[in-house]
Amino acid sequence: MGNVPEKISNNAFYGIDLQKNGLLIIIGIFIILVVVKSFISLDFYAPFISDEHVYDKEAKILASGKLYPGIGQQPPLYIAFQSIGYILSDNPLVAYDIMLIIGCIFSSTIIFPAYLILKKYVEPLYSILGAVAISTCLALNYFSFTLMQENLYLPLVLFSILAIIEAFETNLLKWQIAAGASIVILEMTKSIAQMAEMAFIGTIVLYLLINWKKGIINVLKSKAALIASFIISYAAWHFFLSNAGKINAILTGQSVKPGIGSTYNTVGITNRAVYAVSNLEEYLRLVQTFLNHIDYLLLASFMLFAILIFFFFTELNTKLRLGEGFKVSEIFIFQMILFSIIGVTIIAISLRSSGSAYFTTIGRYLEPVVPPVILLGLIYICNVKVSDFKKYLGVYVAFSAIVTLFFLITNSTPNNMFSYDQIINNPSSGFYYNLKAIGLLPYSLGLLSIMSFGMFYLALTNKKFITLLMVLLIIVSILVSVIPHMNNLKYSQKPLKDSIEQSLLNNSTVTTVSNEMNMTDVTNDHSVSSNTANLTGGTS
């Protein structure tokens, strides 16, 4: 067979027992991911996204001893970890490198909850390959070299799902407490977690309704720790929010008005949503934006979102006897998807000025549901019986055709998800940049859809193709990430290039300027003087 590995079974590979050694393999892959990402991150010189500048400033002020900087409204958990960079070094360039490495570590941890969930429901080989596929998805590849909160938030979402599964499968106190608290920890990381909180509350309500016949008191008692953990954690966090300024004054002697919490004007967003459904032009925009986000989720998940929809409406998912924990996690994931699409659509409408195409899609806010979608899709494909799937073969073909046409038509209209050439808000649109680079837009999107459904068909009718499907997901994710990565690197190194050019001209210290989204952010911390400039583009 030459260099081609011989697969003994899905429990062993190259003579290695994957059942016993799976976690060790995952730890090894995690270390490789961290080392490779960290090494690549050293080429990045300065933040190139406006939000990064805010996190950088807040991390520096937090490291100086203030409880919270009070200059923004970002939740502090990720910023607290990032402040380690400034605790370890006063040099902003070194601190930036440290913060990037922290981000690389956090983004790579997603491989652990992905593996631990998959190993419960699929064969060992699939659980390892699936975990790698999730840990190399486009958004994680993009954000790993930024200071963005997504590096921590995306892994935490999967950790929360793992805790929910364990809480309902084992009913152990530690898992119930972990599951309830983990949802609030999400809000401490990123404001968009309000969608996850609504999904969690909705899941608990549905669980109570489904198990009503068992006696509502008995059901509540069995999940009392879970509910109490969520309520107590939520109350404690919001008590801190309302008193952060007073606490900061006690600790530092300075009165700082806290701005922690949601970064959005909830009242304004609600009013805009009401206006959108009462005005025809705005209503059509609302519908277009909603469809854009469905398109984005299809693209970001390699069309696996369509597989979830197919299984849901054909009720094939009900034939998968995978336990109560899995069923509850399904409910949570589906609700989180629904609330996220609706919520992000409303946010996009509220932020978009009349006639502007910039906020036609804010895919970045949908990225947290992409790993769960891929996870659930792979579990479905691995577990459905071929005989059950073949009963719906005609429906599958028709469904594939409808989704492909939908994908083509919605992306051929004005203000579609690609109407504004901005990958910062839509990291999974790396497909677009690659297809655009080789001149294959827009009809290649239809080909992409057909190829995806064809691959799913092979995997659903012949389990031997599941391995190929997962390997392709990994390879495509890495390849598609190359062009966006090169663009990121160019924008990051631009301040260094500009500073060197100006310092050579006037022999003086130059303030770097980062241009992004037609806005200019002056970042004094990343100044470069003529005698300290690193001509290699790295940091000193």
List pLDDT tens digits, range 117-148.
999 999 999 999 999 999 999 888 888 888 99
Residue recorded with tokens 């109350």 = 235
Strand duo 12-13 + 519-528: pairing: unpaired
Of the candidates 314, 302, 305, the residue with the CA atom closest to the CA atom of residue 395: 314
Of the candidates 195, 204, 196, 211, the residue with the CA atom closest to the CA atom of residue 227: 204
Across the strands, what pairs with 522?
513
User: What is the mean pLDDT of the segment spanning 216-242?
Assistant: 91
- Residue 480, pLDDT > 70, answer yes
pLDDT of residue 439: 60
| Confidence (pTM) | 0.85
pLDDT band at 336 (very low <50, low <70, confident <90, very high): very high
pLDDT of residue 522: 32
- Residue 268, pLDDT > 60, answer no
Report the 10 Å Cβ neighbour count for 4.
6
- Residue 525, pLDDT > 80, answer no
User: What is the mean pLDDT of the segment spanning 144-159?
Assistant: 93
Q: Return left, alpha or beta for 19; rule: phi > 0 is left, psi -120 to 50 is alpha, else beta.
A: alpha
pLDDT of residue 180: 96
User: What is the mean pLDDT of the segment spanning 366-383?
Assistant: 95
Say how far apart CA 355 and CA 282 lie, in whole Å: 11
- Residue 511, pLDDT > 70, answer no
DSSP-assigned states of every residue in 69-132? --SS---SHHHHHHTHHHHH-S-HHHHHHHHHHHHHHHHHTTHHHHHHHHHHHS-HHHHHHHHH
List pLDDT tens digits, range 37-95.
999 888 887 777 778 888 888 888 888 877 654 544 678 899 999 999 999 998 888 99
- Residue 3, pLDDT > 60, answer no
pLDDT of residue 281: 72
- Helices and strands (H and E) in the chain: how many: 24, 4
| Angle, CA 177 vertex, CA 151 and CA 106 arms, to 5° | 15
Residues 6+ apart with CB under 8 A from 527: 499, 509, 510, 511, 512
- Comparing 85 with 266, the larger pLDDT belongs to 85
Residue recorded with tokens 């009900």 = 318
Long-range pairs, 467-472, Cβ under 8 A, ≥24: 467/7, 467/125, 467/126, 467/129, 469/381, 470/126, 470/129, 470/130, 470/132, 470/133, 470/378, 471/129
> Is 47:147 a contact under the CB 8 Å cutoff?
yes
User: What is the mean pLDDT of the segment spanning 527-533?
Assistant: 33
pLDDT of residue 2: 39
Side-chain-facing half-sphere of 235: CA atoms under 13 Å: 6
- Where in 423-534 does DSSP place strands (E)? 510-516, 519-528
pLDDT band at 30 (very low <50, low <70, confident <90, very high): very high
List pLDDT tens digits, range 246-263.
776 776 666 555 554 444
Mean of the per-residue pLDDT values of the chain: 80
- Residue 166, pLDDT > 80, answer yes
- 25-29, 447-451, 514-518, 523-527: range with lowest mean pLDDT: 514-518
User: What is the mean pLDDT of the segment spanning 31-40?
Assistant: 94
Distance of CA 151 to the CA centre of its chain: 8
- Comparing 285 with 422, the larger pLDDT belongs to 285
pLDDT of residue 488: 75
Share of the chain above pLDDT 90, in %: 42
Residue recorded with tokens 């009913």 = 171
DSSP-assigned states of every residue in 21-75? HHHHHHHHHHHHHHHHHHHHHTT--S--SHHHHHHHHHHHHHHTT-S---SS---
- 57-66, 171-180, 528-537: range with lowest mean pLDDT: 528-537
- 8-17, 34-43, 318-327: range with lowest mean pLDDT: 8-17
Say how far apart CA 228 and CA 221 lie, in whole Å: 11
Say how far apart CA 432 and CA 411 lie, in whole Å: 11
Say how far apart CA 372 and CA 301 lie, in whole Å: 9
